Amino acid sequence: MDLQFLGGAREVGRSAILVNDRLLLDYGMLAGEPPQYPIDVPEPEAVVVGHGHLDHAGAVPALLSGDARPPIHWTPPTRELALTLARDTLKLHGGTLQCPFTETDVRRVTQVSETHGYEETFETAGHEVTFSNAGHIPGSAHVLVDDGDARLLYTGDFHTDDQRLVSGTTARPDADVIICESTYSDVDHEARSTVEERFVESVETTLWEGGTVVVPAFAIGRTQEMLLICEAYDIPCYVDGMGKGVTEMLLRYPEFVRDPTALRRAKSHARFVTGRNGQRERITDQPAAIVTTSGMLSGGPAMTYIPAIRSNPTNKITLTGYQVEGTPGRRLVETGSAEIDGRVLPVSAQVEQYDFSAHADRDGLRAFLDGYRDAEILVNHGDRCSAFAAELTADGFDASAPENGETVVVGE
């Protein structure tokens, strides 16, 4: 089996791996100024996408810009999320060199899409493929690929612990080769219940003092997780941004959500912001949580809320995940000021950061890989892939960290 790494090797973003020159796993983009895409535009016979985040699914329509019409295989939520992201990318970058696809290409995606549930084996481009729950976001999958000679398990992004929105991964299909993500290979997450309790206590304190809490959150996964927490603790909340539509979409695929009844309750509990008649300005005076995109303050309605609440020290901004270097969220944490529309504004409101990660941490990765001591491990999707591969090797694994552009022959 030949594995060609076209993106996401020794980095996070633009994941793309070509198997046996025929089957493409993921085709993502790295958001940024400018956005980055995989190092090559392959011409696969078929495409398999593991989950609906930008760095795994964001560039898929570009594969249909020529004459080729490879089928695209994914779970139903991944399909919906990929289309949502593609339309958003068109809105941000459409018609410029920063966007490698057009509206027509996005429409073609719907024509070649083939959806599959977990544990339903299908055949494509000469390979048998099976998805299993990866516990990262709804619809996220580990991808098992069998070419008749070797069985490859591409973990994609995964979490071993339960979140409110999705259950952790439990599937451990037999495999000879593992491509394993390593986003948090040197991190020990605080227990989710502890993070949640600290978060809830902090939000409740602010609301009790009459303040407003802005909760920046990614649209996909994190927004719904925050709404589930608000409902569970009866925290009055609003939801704004792309996360609104994603929440409604996920309710159409209850089998990919851990507790659909809870998500339905969370949706009714949250007030959806329409933005009409100055609603955004008005609700920044209310003692409520406002769950809104973007998670790293790089756009979205958060850009309206932060200036409105920033000068009152009773108010609070609770970031809900890791802030990538160079993002306004990171700047806010480090300098206490926010950059909005090119203006640097001091923030007197309290700023806090919580680690609601949807990835396995060091222990989770090791526990997962312990089931694969005889397999060949290829580490990808991380800032320290080589270091993690070296740790695994020291512990007796056959592990390495390929680079972008490298072709690895496995299972011989």
Q: Which residues bind Zn ion (CB under 5 A)?
A: 53, 157
Q: What's the closest the beta carbon of residue 181 comes to Zn ion, in angstroms?
A: 9
Q: What's the closest the beta carbon of residue 379 comes to Zn ion, in angstroms?
A: 16
Closest to 78 in 3D by CA, of 173, 220, 245, 218:
220
Q: Give phi and psi for 384, each to the nearest 5.
A: -140, 50
Closest to 262 in 3D by CA, of 141, 137, 191, 163:
163
CB closer to Zn ion out of 80 and 157: 157
Instruction: Note whether 222 and 293 are within 8 A (CB).
Output: no
Cα separation, 25 vs 186, whole angstroms: 26
**Residue 378 one-letter amino acid:** L
**Residue 284 one-letter amino acid:** T
CB closer to Zn ion out of 12 and 24: 12
Q: What's the closest the beta carbon of residue 50 comes to Zn ion, in angstroms?
A: 9
CB closer to Zn ion out of 58 and 216: 58
Q: Give phi and psi for 165, each to the nearest 5.
A: -80, -40
Strands 23-25 and 46-48: what pairing? parallel
CA angle 323, 139, 61 (to 5 degrees): 80
Cα separation, 408 vs 287, whole angstroms: 55
Q: What's the closest the beta carbon of residue 221 comes to Zn ion, in angstroms?
A: 8
CA 332 to chain centre: 22
Instruction: Note whether 157 and 50 are within 8 A (CB).
Output: yes
Token output for 33? 């100024």
Q: What's the closest the beta carbon of residue 157 comes to Zn ion, in angstroms?
A: 4
* Residue 294, preceding peptide bond in cis (omega within 30° of 0): yes
CB closer to Zn ion out of 56 and 331: 56
Q: What's the closest the beta carbon of residue 127 comes to Zn ion, in angstroms?
A: 23
Strands 177-181 and 289-292: what pairing? unpaired
Q: What's the closest the beta carbon of residue 54 comes to Zn ion, in angstroms?
A: 8
Residue listed under structure tokens 């990808």: 380
Q: What's the closest the beta carbon of residue 159 comes to Zn ion, in angstroms?
A: 10
For residue 181, the cross-strand partners are: 380
CB closer to Zn ion out of 127 and 136: 136
CB closer to Zn ion out of 53 and 79: 53
CB closer to Zn ion out of 55 and 146: 55
Among the residues of 253-401, which ranges form H helices?
Answer: 260-269, 279-283, 302-309, 328-335, 362-369, 385-394
Strands 16-19 and 23-25: what pairing? antiparallel
Instruction: Note whether 408 and 378 are within 8 A (CB).
Output: yes
Instruction: Note whether 359 and 381 are within 8 A (CB).
Output: no
Residue 154 class from Cβ within 10 Å (0-12 exposed, 13-18 middle, 19+ buried)? buried
Q: What's the closest the beta carbon of residue 51 comes to Zn ion, in angstroms?
A: 6
CB closer to Zn ion out of 310 and 381: 381
Q: What's the closest the beta carbon of residue 321 comes to Zn ion, in angstroms?
A: 11
CB closer to Zn ion out of 30 and 306: 30
CB closer to Zn ion out of 20 and 89: 89
